[in-house]
Amino acid sequence: MHSLRLIFRFVAPYRARLYGALLLLLASTGLAMVGPEIQRLIVDRAIIGGKTRLLFPLLTALVAAALGRGVALFFRGYLQEWVGQRVVYDLRHRLYAHLQELSPAYYARTYTGEIMSRVTGDVERVRQFVTSGVVDLLNSVLTFGFVSIILFRMNWQLTLVTLSISPLLAITVLRFDRRIRPAWRAIERQAGVLSTVIQESLAGVRVVKAFAREPFEVERFRRESEGFADTQVRAARIWAHSFPLIEFLTALSWVLLVGVGGRQVALGRMTVGELVAFNGYLWSLIWPIRNLGWLVNLFEQASTASDRILEILNAPVDIQEPPHPVRLRVKGEIRFENVSFKYDEEAYGDHALRSPGLFGFNLTVHPGERVAVVGPTGCGKTTVVHLLLRLYDPQTGRILIDGVDLRELDLVTYRRQVGVVQQETFLFSTSIKENIAFGRLSATDEEIREAARLAQADRFIERLPDGYETVVGERGVGLSGGERQRVAIARALLMNPAILVLDDPTSSVDAETEAEIQAALRRLMQGRTTLIVSQRVSAVRDADWIVVLDEGRIVQQGRHEELINQPGVYRRLFAPQLGLPAGEEAAACR
């Protein structure tokens, strides 16, 4: 029930139309009730009573009732569908907006396929419930109520006899539903698994091919797909099992009707017309009972679906905006104060020591300064970048920007003033132009070209089939690692940021291009605070300050000339690039 509240919350804005649908429902149910009564008059008065002149008006009334009912059904269907579609639209929109809010930590623990099946499949089940479930449920209740009253008033003995079957029918239908429900659940779960398999192996298609794992992937898919088919078949079997019994019970009530009712007609206690009408009403009574299973099922599915949707909507946004966010015009002072961060928040005891992250990190960067973070792979360099962008919050310590705690800042304003080139370049499957303008949609073509020129990307872009309009990525032109990196640099530069964060920005370009980019970057770094992560000595040697990390801790800091002349991690990492011996002492120091 709790989960269905979600649906009602989303339906609320469209209440008026839903009420309209309910009114039409009342009308159509009411009109349906007229039919058997007219039939009774036709049989008793017109046919048996011989008043043939009544035949025409009665038949006309029958047709009119059917037509009226048709019109009511049409508009009711339209309104239901309209409300359903709006609700789903709103729901999907809210879900997606929330998904955008969630932090990388959330995505690290959730399968993409699972999320996709919720945004599409589960939302669809909610729509089904809103479009047919709610109104059909009321329809069944109304019909059942109306018809029972009519039948009891017509002939209560016959009603009792024929309806004696209905509890049995209801029990059968509900038992059937209880058995089929786990089967439906299994189908949903399996659908999620299947879409995760597809999504992962398609996203990783190059790795799959490079390792010749196609047969394995096909087999993995076949297995899950077979599991999917199996669960479907299991559900179908349960379905098929219950049907004969339901049909049998339905037929039985008819037998009782003709047996008992026919006798009453023969004894003159009931007219033929009444029997005909009774028959008509009985059918409209049995239908809601038979429909019960389907409705309960729809209800069930919608409530599981909304549970799953709620799981996303209620997933806490780890990175919370402060109640009174500070909108800062960033000058560029960065200060890490005793910052410790663990990816695995639950890590404790011995495990805490081994859990990766950053420990007791202190660093001050004055406005306009250029600071490099270096260290062996996996030492926590990218982690520093993530914390500075507030993709994660540190567990202890704080990060100050111009003296204000990062957690107090208005994130959007802040991030718009930080230009970042991430280690793993991600481009969207749109034009190069749009990719470069990603951080500043208002940029002019001229500015975009200028940014590309500074990032040494203009030459290769102009050689592409459609130049800046070339679509890259999926369904577009492929770019090399170095080309992608340069587009990413242009994207960061275009933002004209106060703080520039470069995470190994030239890891995929050749030495010559790198020198050119470095030269361009050097000009750009003027007057901006820059945090650069690099494995290349050329990128860090003229930094104002260099921090050397190892296993999440600062092990050395200073300027290049000092660090390269003392034994330690820095020398071990960079001496070979300068053609210097790494030094015996360096090894001994470890």
- Looking at the Cβ atoms of 288 and 375, the one nearer to ligand ATP is 375
Provide the Cα torsion 484, 487, 492, 493; round to 10°. 140
508 sits near Mg ion (criterion: CB under 5 A): no
Position among 340, 423, 496, 535 found at the interface with Mg ion (CB under 5 A)? 423
Q: Is 379 in the site for ligand ATP (CB under 6 A)?
A: yes
Taking CB under 6 A as the criterion, the residue among 53, 210, 324, 377 binding ligand ATP is 377
Q: Which of ligand ATP, Mg ion, none lies near 343, with the C-beta cut-off 5 to 8 A by kind?
A: ligand ATP
Contact status: 481 vs ligand ATP (CB under 6 A):
no
Which residue's CB is nearer to Mg ion, number 199 or number 382? Answer: 382
Is 423 or 538 the residue whose CB approaches Mg ion more closely? 423
Contact window for ligand ATP (CB under 6 A) among 147-155, 244-252, 372-380, 464-472: 372-380
Supply the minimum distance, in Å, between the C-beta of residue 495 and ligand ATP.
Answer: 22
Smallest distance from ligand ATP to CB 558, Å: 19
- Binding-site size, Mg ion (CB under 5 A): 3
How many residues bind ligand ATP (CB under 6 A)? The answer is: 12
CB of 108 to ligand ATP, least distance (A): 5
Question: Could you give the C-alpha distances from 341 to 107, 287, 397, 420, 515, in angstroms and in order?
Answer: 18, 62, 9, 21, 34
111 burial (CB, 10 Å; 0-12 / 13-18 / 19+) is middle
Closest CB to ligand ATP among 112 and 157? 112
Q: How far is the CB of 459 from Mg ion (least distance, A)?
A: 28
- Output the smallest distance, CB 518 to ligand ATP, in A: 19
Cα 545 to Cα 365: distance, rounded to the nearest angstrom: 8
- Give the DSSP per-residue string, 404-432: EEGGGB-HHHHHHTEEEE-SS----SSBH
In the window 405-424, what residues touch ligand ATP (CB under 6 A)?
423
Q: How many CB atoms lie within 10 A of CB 226?
A: 11
We find the least distance from the C-beta atom of residue 358 to ligand ATP, in angstroms, to be 8
The closest alpha carbon to 339, from 396, 402, 401, 400, belongs to: 396
Member of 132, 383, 513, 557 binding ligand ATP (CB under 6 A) = 383
What are the φ/ψ torsions at residue 367 (nearest 5 degrees)? Answer: -55, 135
The residue among 88, 76, 60, 97 whose CA lies nearest residue 27 is: 76
Whole-angstrom CA distances from 554 to 100, 301, 341, 354, 395 are: 33, 54, 14, 16, 18
**Beta carbon of residue 382, minimum distance to ligand ATP (angstroms, whole number):** 3
Of 498, 523, 476, nearest to 418 by C-alpha is 498
> Count of CB atoms within 10 A of residue 354's CB?
9
Instruction: Give the shortest CB-353-to-ligand ATP separation in angstroms.
Output: 13
Distance CA 186, CA 113 (A): 16
> Strand, helix or coil at 366?
coil
Identify the residue among 70, 322, 360, 378 touching ligand ATP (CB under 6 A): 378
From candidates 382, 496, 507, 535, binder to Mg ion by CB under 5 A: 382
Q: Which is nearer to ligand ATP, 70 or 576 (CB)?
A: 576
- Dist. CA 66–CA 74, nearest whole Å: 12
Reference 535, options 551, 523, 546; nearest CA is 546
Q: Which does 152 bind (CB under 5 to 8 A by kind): Mg ion, ligand ATP, none?
A: none
* Least distance between ligand ATP and beta carbon 586 (Å): 19
Using the rule CB under 6 A, give the single segment among 50-58, 222-230, 380-388, 569-577 that binds ligand ATP.
Answer: 380-388
Listed ranges 173-181, 253-261, 270-278, 374-382: which one lies at the site for ligand ATP (CB under 6 A): 374-382
Of residues 286 and 379, the one with the C-beta less far from Mg ion: 379
Please report how close the Cβ of residue 459 comes to ligand ATP at its closest, in angstroms. Answer: 28
CB nearer to ligand ATP: pick between 358 and 471 = 358
Near ligand ATP in 196-235, by CB under 6 A: none
Measured between alpha carbons, how far is 228 from 189 in angstroms, rounded to an integer? 9
Q: Tell me the window of 257-265, 400-408, 420-428, 573-581 that interacts with Mg ion (CB under 5 A).
A: 420-428
For residue 7, what are the contacts with CB-CB under 8 A and spacing of at least 6? 87, 126, 129, 130, 302, 306
Q: What is the DSSP string of 262-293?
A: HHHHHTTSS-HHHHHHHHHHHHHHHHHHHHHH
In the numeric block, the tokens 């932090």 are attached to: 103
Answer with the entry of ligand ATP, Mg ion, none that 68 interacts with (C-beta below 5 to 8 A by kind): none
Residue 280 or 552 with smaller CB distance to ligand ATP: 552
Are 548 and 568 a contacting pair, CB within 8 Å?
yes
Q: Is 470 in the site for Mg ion (CB under 5 A)?
A: no
Bridge-partner residues for 557, per DSSP?
Answer: 547
Query: Which residue, 342 or 449, is less far from ligand ATP as judged by CB?
Result: 342
Output the CA–CA distances (angstroms, integers) from residue 344 to 255, 337, 356, in the order listed. 69, 21, 8
- The structure tokens listed for 234 are 């299991």
**Residue, CB closest to Mg ion:** 382
- What is the helix, strand, coil percentage profile of the chain, to 5? 65, 10, 20
Q: Which residues 93-112 are close enough to bind ligand ATP by CB under 6 A?
A: 108
CA–CA separation, 241 vs 39, rounded Å? Answer: 36
Q: CA 6 to CA 260: how far, in whole Å?
A: 49
CB of 109 to ligand ATP, least distance (A): 9
Q: How far is the CB of 409 from Mg ion (least distance, A)?
A: 24
Residue 356 as a binder of ligand ATP (CB under 6 A): the answer is yes
Exactly one of 299, 343, 460, 545 binds ligand ATP (CB under 6 A); that residue is: 343
Spatial distance between the Cα atoms of 37 and 407, rounded to a whole number of angstroms: 73
Task: Read off the tokens for 98.
Answer: 């929330």
Q: Which stretch binds Mg ion (CB under 5 A): 151-159, 243-251, 382-390, 550-558?
A: 382-390
- In the complex, the smallest distance separating the C-beta of residue 394 from ligand ATP, rounded to whole angstroms, is 13
List residues near Mg ion by CB under 5 A: 381-382, 423
List residues near ligand ATP by CB under 6 A: 108, 343, 356, 375, 377-383, 423
